[in-house]
A and B are shown apart, each in its own frame.
Chain A
């Protein structure tokens, strides 16, 4: 499959970066072509501009975002690797969705219709690989907004038969090195079986 890995963390020395490395190692075993988007390394600007907002009904993205739109058109699987902050996607990753998942890229509004028509229908797998500082019960109480954003709103722009996989570690703030090692192993195994 064509696998687009979207990675979001500011620190290349972070645990989330180690998670990314294991995810890529797992993917390398399968018969996939992998493209990696490292939002922070790209210096991606997460904030939608006034002009982008004013023209949001017009299809397509500006030239500086074209490669992100092309990657989405190419992808058959999306793998997100990110820390869950405040129960959801970090601002940088949310900003990539805000600015790239636009009309003519992720969806279109057919003439006379009030219902969005999905355009990323080649995507049939979404995997979310994410760490949480807090324990699972806190995240459940918070409503797991990141999971729902990816597995509902985003998924609706993809193939109707898209399968989703949640590979999460909770309680990272109080986890032992052994816990982290276990999670890293699980991440690699899941991606090996993509």
Chain B
């Protein structure tokens, strides 16, 4: 299958980038064709513009070639993998903005004549989230993992319920040893190789 790995991390030498590389490695080992999309490296613009907001319900909601390129990717890839640090229980702004600007009508959603929303990406089979958290797992459960909800509920509705979510998280990052981090990299690679 075609797999898209979206990484949202400001530092190109980050652990998050290592995780994305491990995920790509694993997916490649499983025989999938992998495209890596590095939002910071591409200088992806997070905020939807007024012009894009006006165009949202027209037949041409995409105005930016960078957004069109991402739209083409999600319309082709059956595996969507998101690698990001959880900030304030949610997605970093750049990744939230990518969802908002890319998953527009005609891509992420289709509007039926009665105004109801239908999935725009029914070909997607897996939604994978790989995230690091400052907080312990219990705290994340208490405040709710809203980034995970955005990807495994909201985005999943765009893909239809046949898209199965998979979550891989590393919690309490500040307390993690090098051995912990290496072990999680291995776990990510191995799990993707079995996808």
Compute the total of residue contacts between A and B using a CB distance below 8 Å.
140
Kindly provide the distance from the CB of B45 to the nearest chain A CB, expressed in whole angstroms: 8
**In the assembled complex, A178 has its CB within 8 A of some CB on chain B:** no
**Does A26 sit at the interface, judged by CB under 8 A?**
no
Instruction: Tally chain B residues at the interface, Cβ within 8 Å.
Output: 40
Q: Footprint of A on B, CB under 8 Å?
A: 10-12, 40, 46-50, 52-54, 87-94, 96-97, 99-100, 103, 115, 117, 142-144, 146-147, 149-150, 153-155, 157, 174-175
Surface stretch bound by B, among A72-80, A95-103, A118-126: A95-103
Interface residues on A, range: 35 or more
Assess A46 versus B157: contact at CB under 8 Å? Given A11-B53, A11-B54.
Answer: no
How far, in whole Å, are A49 and B94 apart by their CA atoms in the complex? 11
The complex places the Cα of A98 from the Cα of B93 at a distance, in Å, of: 7
- CB–CB B90/A89 < 8 A: yes
Using Cβ atoms and an 8 Å threshold, which residues of chain A touch B87?
Answer: 48, 97-98
A94 CA / B40 CA spacing, docked (Å): 16
Q: Which residues of the partner chain B approach A54 to less than 8 Å between Cβ atoms?
A: 11
Q: Mark A130-163, 1 if CB is under 8 A from B, else 0.
A: 0000100010011101101100111010000000
Residue of A nearest to B93 (CB): A95
**Shortest Cβ gap from B62 to chain A (Å):** 16
The answer to whether A145 and B48 have CB atoms under 8 Å apart is: no
When chains A and B are docked, how far (Å) is the Cα of A114 from the Cα of B139? Answer: 12
- CB neighbours (8 Å) of A94 from chain B are 88, 90-93, 96
Q: A11-B50, A86-B155, A95-B46 are in contact. Are A47 and B150 (CB under 8 A)?
A: no
Instruction: Indicate whether A143 sits within 8 Å of B10 (C-beta atoms), given known contacts A10-B47, A91-B97, A94-B96.
Output: no
What DSSP secondary structure best describes chain A's contact surface? Answer: helix
Beta-carbon contact of B11 and A92 below 8 Å: no
Nearest residue, chain A, Cβ from B172: A114
Jot down 24 A-B pairs with beta carbons below 8 A, ordered by A: A10-B48, A10-B50, A10-B53, A40-B47, A46-B47, A48-B10, A48-B87, A50-B11, A52-B10, A53-B11, A86-B96, A90-B96, A91-B97, A94-B93, A142-B150, A142-B153, A145-B90, A145-B144, A145-B149, A145-B154, A149-B146, A152-B142, A152-B143, A173-B115
